[in-house]
Amino acid sequence: DGGITQSPKYLFRKEGQNVTLSCEQNLNHDAMYWYRQDPGQGLRLIYYSQIVNDFQKGDIAEGYSVSREKKESFPLTVTSAQKNPTAFYLCASIDRASGNTIYFGEGSWLTVV
């Protein structure tokens, strides 16, 4: 079945370490997004990519990096520069052919210990 797969679902990180969250989609969607969710703050856009080999900063890009070398993959790296990385991270993609329907992954919980 087609969909968006995020991994890992749960991740613990020591302070000062970089970690990479995986996001893979087999839906043939061009546009992909990373959101961060904090309690009481809803979802905030970190980075987005409208096409392979291109990506743009969202509202809270500091301390994060992404790549888009393949259409199917949009990994997010949480760097040591991110001061408060503990959060729930959601990856999404858009199907323009169906009127821009947005599909979400199941999310990844990152906890800094």
Partner 1 sequence: GNSVTQMEGPVTLSEEAFLTINCTYTATGYPSLFWYVQYPGEGLQLLLKATKADDKGSNKGFEATYRKETTSFHLEKGSVQVSDSAVYFCALKGGNAGNMLTFGGGTRLMVKP
Binding interface with partner 1 (CB under 8 A): 6, 31, 33, 35, 40-45, 48, 50, 90, 92, 94, 99-102, 104-107
What is the Cα 3 distance to its own chain's centre?
15
Angle in degrees, CA 7, 85, 65, rounded to 5 = 70
CB of 62 to partner 1, least distance (A): 18
Shortest Cβ distance from residue 80 to partner 1 (Å)? 26
Pairing, β 31-38 against β 10-13? unpaired
Residue 89: CB atoms within 10 A of its CB come to 22
Query: Closest distance between partner 1 and the C-beta of residue 112, in Å?
Result: 20
User: Which lies closer to partner 1 via its Cβ, residue 50 or residue 80?
Assistant: 50
Query: Quick count: other Cβ atoms within 10 Å of Cβ 40?
Result: 4
Kindly tell me which of 16 and 42 has the beta carbon lying closer to partner 1. Answer: 42
